[in-house]
Amino acid sequence: MDMIQTKKRGSLIIISGTTCAGKGTVIKELLKRNSNLVLSTSYTSRNIRKDDIKDETYHFISKEQFEEKIKNDDFLEYALVHNNYYGTPKFEIEQILSSGKDVILEIEVQGAKIVKEKLPETILIFILAPSMEEVKKRIIARGSEDKEQIITRFKTAYQELNEISKYNYVVVNDKVENAVKKIEAILISEKCRVDRIEEIYVANQEEFMHELLMDKEFENIYKPIK
């Protein structure tokens, strides 16, 4: 039996980031490399789109069903965005954590604050692009937004930067491989936290052997003078 028994419950990890920080790409690579990580699937009341995969991209339900879930307190957090609801399921996350797996939530800053208040042990990681100039390049390269939309994204990004102090860790995504390694190191260190120890156990036989060895060592060092 191991001397230290750690808690088997998984960790809840929130990953947020500014626009074009590449958090989605980083999360995909993390999931590929770590079988103990699970990405939580949120609920939404928006219509399913062509590229969506039901129950993978989101759990798609009606607005009425979503509001019923709100009444039943089924969400860790939820938000109304552009007249559509988005929410993080409480029961499903609890099931995964109880099984010993770690759960990643990819949510924005306000949602992260709500979850942290409810579950203080949640690990908060904020992903940044190397610079705002790089963010600008990435937005322009996508070619999907006009000037006004780009300005709006920048304003939101600067507001989110002011919330970094609320997070436990900040990771700069200069290269995906580097960012993934840093997050993996964070998760390993979190598993070694003292507050994750359930019990320190030393078997009676181990105690006996330890005492016997100490006695022999003592005898060899401190031999009586004749």
pLDDT band for 192, please (50, 70, 90 cuts).
Answer: confident
pLDDT reading at 172 higher than 90 = yes
pLDDT of residue 84: 92
pLDDT of residue 210: 64
Core vs surface per residue 1-33: b (16+ CB within 10 A) or e: eeeeeeeebbbbbbbbbbbbbbbeebbebbeee
Q: Which long-range contacts (CB under 8 A, 24 or more apart) does 112-118 make?
A: 112/14, 112/16, 112/166, 112/167, 113/163, 113/166, 114/76, 114/77, 115/12, 115/14, 115/76, 115/77, 115/88, 116/14, 116/166, 118/76, 118/77
pLDDT of residue 147: 77
Tokens 């009676």 — which residue?
A: 204
β-strand pairing of 169-172 with 12-17: unpaired
pLDDT band for 146, please (50, 70, 90 cuts).
Answer: confident
pLDDT of residue 113: 92
For the chain, give every domain's residue range: 4-40+102-221
Percentage of residues in the chain having pLDDT higher than 70: 82
- The residue-averaged pLDDT of 72-95 equals 93
pLDDT of residue 49: 86
pLDDT reading at 86 higher than 80 = yes
The predicted model scores a pTM of 0.79
Distance of CA 217 to the CA centre of its chain: 48
pLDDT of residue 180: 97
pLDDT reading at 29 higher than 90 = yes
CATH class of 4-40+102-221: alpha beta
